Structure 1
Amino acid sequence: MLDDVTALLAQARADVTAQSTATVAQRVATTLLRLAGKFGQDSACGGTLIQLPLSRTDLAGMAGSTPESVSRVMSQLRKDGIIDSGRRWTAILDRGRLLATVAASA
């Protein structure tokens, strides 16, 4: 059990270090991909549907940013056709491009 807790702590520390050097877009993309991995469901459109009532403030807290910055990133991702979102859901339409956002400048 102690080994498991140590591994989780090491992963959390690595995540914090990685996020401190990432752009807001990279942090938001990483957060969306993590949520999709845990809560996502395959949708009819070929994407991944995350049915959670996430506010921009919630997402900003998870991504370590401000709601305004997250809103700008989400708007750009939607405009680029990478995601779509509504009041109680977010859909990842192009996982490859979202992964490319994470990898950009990394």
Structure 2
Amino acid sequence: MDNTYKLLKNIETLKNVKDEIIREMATKCIVREYKSEETIFLEGDLVEIIYLISKGKAMVSRFSEEGGEKIIHIFDKGHFINEVSIDGRKTSTSVTIMEDSQLIHFKKKDILSWMEKDFNFNLAIIKSISNKLRSSYRQIRNLGLKKINSRIAARLCKLVRDYGYKGEGLISIELNLTQSQLAAMVGSTRESVSRFLKHLEREGIIEQKNQKISILNFEGLKEYT
């Protein structure tokens, strides 16, 4: 219990939650390890567990009627994955682990109980849902108004903000991301993404190595958005 309590106390999302709630959470949650590419749940499942990432990354996606995948979100430490499931409806997304990760499991009824007991916990859930909604709005806007190359550049800029690590003369996106996955984020094909990334490489704006992208000229990248 002590280790789980410390784990929860170190999660930024819960920083304002009452200590008594954190202690109760520690006694009622389950902490589980997951392997890369492991599926947590599928679109259409009825999920009674709310997941919080304590280590690693998870990918949220939807599939079209034709079977094409659209990656909606990538979440890392401190993010709830499916807090919208508190409404009791079937899930509208699928979730897959991107790298070896650790998730904390909470029963939905416990989440609802803590929301009643502590306004700050309630606010943490509301903020989490709000951030997902805002992100979805931005994606809808970009898909509707921007051309393919602009959408790819905008997504790379977003990945830099979320996962960028500054090194000597570059910003490394600390995320193992295939071109197919990037295409699924922007509603394009892998071929279109590959062509544009090669163009950015020739322009000296990015560098690709081992499924990782480094930004050499961030201002140059932003000009394409």
**TM-score range for the pair, normalised by the shorter chain length:** 0.7 to 0.9
Deviation at 1:101, TM superposition (A): 0.6
TM-score computed with the length of structure 1 as normaliser: 0.83
Q: What CA distance in whole angstroms lies between the structure 2 residues aligned with 1:57 and 1:12? A: 20
Aligned length: 101
Q: What CA distance in whole angstroms lies between the structure 1 residues aligned with 2:195 and 2:164? A: 23
| Equivalent runs, 1:40-59 vs 2, <5 Å | 40-44=164-168, 46-59=169-182
Deviation at 1:50, TM superposition (A): 1.2
Q: What CA distance in whole angstroms lies between the structure 2 residues aligned with 1:7 and 1:53? A: 23
Which residue pairs with 1:82 in the alignment? 205
Which entry has the higher C-alpha Rg, 1 or 2?
Answer: 2
| Percent pairwise identity | 28
TM-score computed with the length of structure 2 as normaliser: 0.42
Structure 2 residue 157 is matched with structure 1 residue 33 = yes
Structure 2 residue 199 is matched with structure 1 residue 71 = no
Considering only aligned residues, what root-mean-square deviation do their CA atoms show, in Å? 1.7
For residue 35 of structure 1, what is the amino acid of its counterpart? Answer: L
The counterpart of 1:12, out of the listed 118, 127, 136, is 136
Structure showing the higher helix proportion among its residues? 1
Q: Which runs of 5+ in 2 are unaligned?
A: 1-122
For residue 80 of structure 1, what is the amino acid of its counterpart? Answer: E
> Which structure has more RCO (C-alpha within 8 Å, separation ≥ 6)?
1
Q: Which runs of 5+ in 1 are unaligned?
A: none
Aligned partners of 2:164 and 2:173 also within 8 Å: yes
